Amino acid sequence: SGSENLGRAIGWAVDTMKRDGLENVRSEPVMVPRWVRGHEGAEIIAPARHSLTMLGLGGSVGTSPEGVEAEVIVVSSFDDLRARAADVKGRMVLFNAPFTTYGDTVTYRTGGPRAASQLGAVAVLIRSVGPTGLRTPHTGSLQYGQGVTPIPAASVTAEDADRIARLSARGVPVRVRLTMEARAEGDVESANVVGEIRGSERPQEIVLLGGHLDSWDVGTGASDDAVGCIVTWEAARLMMKLGIRPRRTISLVLWTNEENGLRGA
């Protein structure tokens, strides 16, 4: 959110909705958070050097220019973390939770940094939320919450997480250096995009359709959430094309910050 590309997407959406014949098409200003990834990287330093494929988690703080280096403690769950609480301070926590479903496993990405920080960890690594495949890391947002010292947090691939876990299980200490330039730049002005089909009998009653227009910086946003935007948009477009006038107003909203929902609506 708040990026140049999002601004271009908003302009395209407004112009295209008008060409599609939607009514009362407009952009509505809204303030959104802007987080910048910057340069980032991770590497196993010991027992042997090995580059890690990683992505910083959205909203993470960065490290110093030199990075943060620490021995890794591998845990499989929040219960495992709590059971080993005495060993966490000064270390880098790796949540190596096997993927089950997105809803179940994503909790380690959103809540892992907070839980690790509360026990004195200096950084956190999260096994990618998804099945093993081609060393592909998966980013997304985290939630530090109140009263917690933010620590750098990144996603690593399932393959790299398993490598670290295998070494640790054999009693081999693993040290990792994590470098992240991630920073928050405060709220900036953006916009939600709105198009309507006015209701014929009860126009003041709204049927709301839509999806989030923003995406993560490392992807195109084609599946998350351009698909959702276009599916709902196409439903409205087809109604206009077929001359279908609903009793209530159909309001199509493409909002511009997924994590905060319809902040400006």
Query: What would the two tokens of residue 214 be?
Result: 């923003």
Question: What gap in Å lies between CA 149 and CA 171, rounded to an integer?
Answer: 30
Query: Please, what is the Cα angle at 27 between 196 and 6, to 5 degrees?
Result: 120
Query: What would the two tokens of residue 247 be?
Result: 């009793």
Question: What gap in Å lies between CA 75 and CA 175, rounded to an integer?
Answer: 15
| Annotation marks residue 71 as catalytic | no
Question: What gap in Å lies between CA 256 and CA 214, rounded to an integer?
Answer: 5
Name the phi and psi angles at 35, rounded to 5.
-120, 135
CB-CB contact of 152 with 62 (8 Å): yes
User: How far from 46 is each of 69, 70, 71, 122, 176, CA to CA, in Å?
Assistant: 11, 10, 9, 18, 7
Give the gyration radius of the chain's Cα atoms.
22
Residues classed as catalytic: 258
